Structure 1
């Protein structure tokens, strides 16, 4: 029991550090370098883009924090490839989309682009999404298939990579939730 608690504390600490370093840099620092959080005129002169941007930020942040917490508490690891989870995480928002962390980071970036009226941040967001997509296809999915086998294959067969399901996936009983 004590070993499990220590592992969980280490996973939480590692996840917090990784949260600050990776998503903090990609979704906060880099967009800030584009805008200095100065509000420019709305894109295409369309004020509702600002509202959409604020909604994307408001939705993206709790998704990101929830996903990180699940990796540490349930998966007993971090999102960082050097300290991956010990258990496949398929609860919470993972029942809707396979990559809620990446979706959240891109949502935060696009939200800032729309809120601050920055085409540069929106273009940067596209580059980040493309980088995530390539990383998921080339490294993450093959690694998870090798590590979690049929459990991960079942998850992939039922939960889409980028577009969330309308109803949560409940599994067939073969996957621990």
Structure 2
């Protein structure tokens, strides 16, 4: 039953939060109309699509980790029972936010839109503020030393590829 609630809650939250930030608002800003042609347009478009696809795949993977490992949702109103430290969370603490940034930046590249580029900067700054002032203090209060140790070992925004030592957070998730 907990897993079914986690699936349903995560699907709703996926549509509402990232769906709005990555889908609805970029459409409202750009109406999916490409900007003027630029040199190396083909390369820019290809890089943009790679960012979009990798961003969406990362976002879906991260949501799945919340369901399977955390037994909850990414939504603050339906938190996980367990700290999520597996999957992509082994390499970066905020893969969902990184994924959203990648998807928006990809859209800006594909559509050659400076408005979407400005929107990406605003979203990125908003995410950083939310994480710093709300999310990390809340996680520290909820998970204590497990989160503190995880935070010391895993970077917030730029993935550290490779292996890291198993932590107490990993052990409690197992």
TM-score (norm 2): 0.93
- CA drift of 1:173 comes to 5.0
In structure 2, the partner of 1:99 is 94
Provide structure 2 residue ranges, at least 5 long, that are not aligned to the other structure. Answer: none
2:57 is aligned to 62
Moved more, 46-55 or 14-23: 46-55
Say whether residues 1:46 and 2:40 are aligned partners.
Answer: yes
- Structure 1: give runs of 5+ residues left out of the alignment: 1-5
Mapped partners of 1:169, 1:41: distance in 2: 45
Q: Secondary structure at the match of 2:144?
A: helix
Asked whether the 8 Å contact 1:95–1:170 carries over to 2, the reply is: no
Cα distance change on mapping 1:62 and 1:174 into 2, 3 Å: closer
Distance 1:125 1:84 in 2: 26
Count of paired positions: 171
Match of 1:19 among 14, 19, 31: 14
Deviation at 1:39, TM superposition (A): 2.2
1:8 aligns with 2:3: yes
- Report the Cα distance in structure 1 between the residues aligned to 2:116 and 2:70, rounded to whole angstroms: 32
Residue 170 of structure 1: how far off its partner (Å): 4.4
What's the TM-score, normalizing by structure 1? 0.92
Find the residue that maps to 2:143 and give its secondary structure: helix
Maintained 8 Å contact 2:85/2:169:
no
2: CA distance between counterparts of 1:170 and 1:58?
30
